[in-house]
């Protein structure tokens, strides 16, 4: 199994054909297939700092385009895949990517539960929203809680190439969902910015990880209680030839070959009523920079901490209101960022963020969704460095206004 999980070539040839299986099924006359998609366009305006482009001037540089397909040749087997283009300011340029592509085989199902296996590119089972984070109709706001669903590390959190085992156990007053995934996480450039501060000459190779999630649901679906834990081992390989061409001072601080170990834990809870939903998630990450320590962190090992409280009110089938408060600290032993400022030279407020969000959603019909929201933010920890290359120019207190329109078919 380890050879399969560490072979990107195997995954490439396994997952890419899955995107075309619905078309093959259609050509054969089968009726157990389906093709859908969506298009999302966002507008962001901030009074200070930038997100998803030059938002201080108003930015339309956020859009998501996707097409997905499902083919179910038998009751216990199906194939699914999605091809997606995502433009997010300077962080992502809209190049098409395989969002997920997998084979799902359910090998057991009875009155006590069910169990199955998935192989391919699989969404990581992280919290309540990660697996559907790119589908506007399934998330409660334009931006998911950045304190937990950190867009700067989106590629790492989103999916892995590997294998997962899933199951459910039915009980008298509810059921228990369980997922266990082993695979190679996505380590594109956004991950380098999140954990190495910029795109250095080199890349993460031979990375691996696992993620386990358990969620308890009551029979009336009033309560959902979840726990997620995972570990990523990111192996970094420097491009020595490219490093040699850099100025000497830059070479002295550039990362050499090494590794980063990330341990993630997440507690999730949700309480649902007829018109209300209340959600809270609390996250803790332990990051060990290994042989890269002393350059990107004030300590070789530090702990991130974050969480949010969220309330949704469904006024009618077409209108919803949302309020959320969230906090993020990149080092729980340096919550005000002063130690990082003294060591790294970055403003202290780049090490934390506190965000109050109010939003409204309108869904006039099943195909269309429109949202608007306002963020009052103190701190800049989750702002993308790609859109803010001059970190010293960032303002600690800022406001963000966002609009979004989504169409699905």
**CA 103 – CA 122 distance, rounded (Å):** 9
Other beta carbons within 10 angstroms of residue 198's beta carbon come to 12
Helical spans, DSSP H, in 107-169:
154-158
Looking at the structure of the chain, the number of domains it has is 1
CATH of the domain at 45: 2.40.160.10
How do the pLDDT tens digits run along the chain, 409 residues long?
Answer: 444 344 445 445 544 555 555 555 555 555 688 899 999 999 999 999 999 999 999 999 999 999 999 999 998 999 999 999 999 988 888 888 888 999 999 999 999 999 999 999 999 999 999 998 888 999 999 999 999 998 888 888 889 999 999 999 999 899 999 999 999 988 776 777 777 777 777 777 778 899 999 999 999 999 999 999 999 988 887 777 776 676 776 666 667 777 788 999 999 999 999 999 999 999 999 988 766 644 554 457 788 999 999 999 999 999 999 999 999 999 898 899 898 888 878 899 999 999 999 999 999 999 999 999 999 999 999 998 888 988 889 999 999 999 999 999 9
Distance CA 149, CA 350 (A): 17
Among residues 204, 200, 171, the alpha carbon closest in space to that of 186 is found at 204
Q: Global pTM?
A: 0.86
289: domain range?
Answer: 2-408
SS3 250: helix
């Amino acid at each position: 199994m380890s050879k399969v999980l560490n072979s990107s070539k195997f995954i490439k040839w396994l997952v890419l054909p899955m995107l075309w299986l619905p078309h093959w099924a259609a050509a054969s006359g089968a009726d157990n297939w389906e093709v859908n998609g969506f298009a999302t366009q966002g507008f962001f305006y901030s009074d200070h700092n930038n997100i998803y482009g030059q938002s201080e001037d108003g930015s339309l540089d956020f859009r998501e385009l996707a097409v997905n397909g499902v083919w179910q040749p038998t009751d216990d087997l199906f194939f699914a895949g999605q091809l997606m283009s995502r433009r997010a300011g300077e962080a992502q340029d809209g190049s098409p990517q395989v969002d997920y592509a997998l084979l799902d085989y359910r090998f057991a199902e009875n009155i006590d539960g069910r169990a199955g296996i998935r192989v391919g590119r699989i969404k990581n089972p992280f919290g309540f929203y990660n697996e559907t984070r790119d589908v506007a109709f399934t998330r409660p706001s334009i931006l998911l809680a950045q304190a937990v669903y950190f867009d700067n590390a989106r590629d790492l959190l989103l999916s892995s190439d590997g294998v997962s085992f899933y199951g459910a156990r039915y009980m008298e007053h509810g059921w228990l969902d369980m997922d266990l995934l082993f695979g190679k996480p996505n380590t594109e450039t956004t991950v380098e910015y999140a954990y190495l501060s910029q795109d250095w000459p080199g890349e993460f190779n031979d990375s691996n990880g696992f993620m386990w999630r358990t969620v308890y649901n009551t029979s009336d679906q009033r309560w959902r209680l979840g726990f997620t834990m995972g570990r990523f081992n990111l192996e970094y390989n420097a491009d020595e030839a490219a490093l040699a061409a850099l100025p000497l001072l830059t070479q002295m601080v550039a990362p050499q070959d090494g590794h980063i170990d990330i341990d993630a834990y997440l507690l999730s809870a949700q309480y649902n009523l007829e018109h209300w939903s209340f959600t809270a998630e609390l996250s803790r990450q332990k990051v060990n920079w290994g042989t890269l320590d002393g350059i990107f962190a004030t300590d070789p090992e530090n702990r991130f901490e974050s969480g949010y409280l969220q309330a949704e009110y469904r006024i009618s089938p077409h209108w919803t209101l949302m309020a959320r408060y969230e906090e993020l600290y990149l080092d729980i032993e340096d919550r005000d960022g002063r130690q990082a400022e003294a060591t790294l030279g970055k403003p202290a407020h780049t090490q934390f963020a506190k965000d109050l969000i109010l939003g409204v959603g309108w869904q006039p019909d099943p195909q269309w969704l429109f949202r608007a929201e306002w963020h009052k933010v103190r701190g800049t920890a989750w702002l993308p460095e790609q859109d803010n290359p001059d970190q010293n120019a960032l303002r600690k207190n800022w406001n963000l206004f966002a609009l979004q329109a989504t169409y699905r078919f």
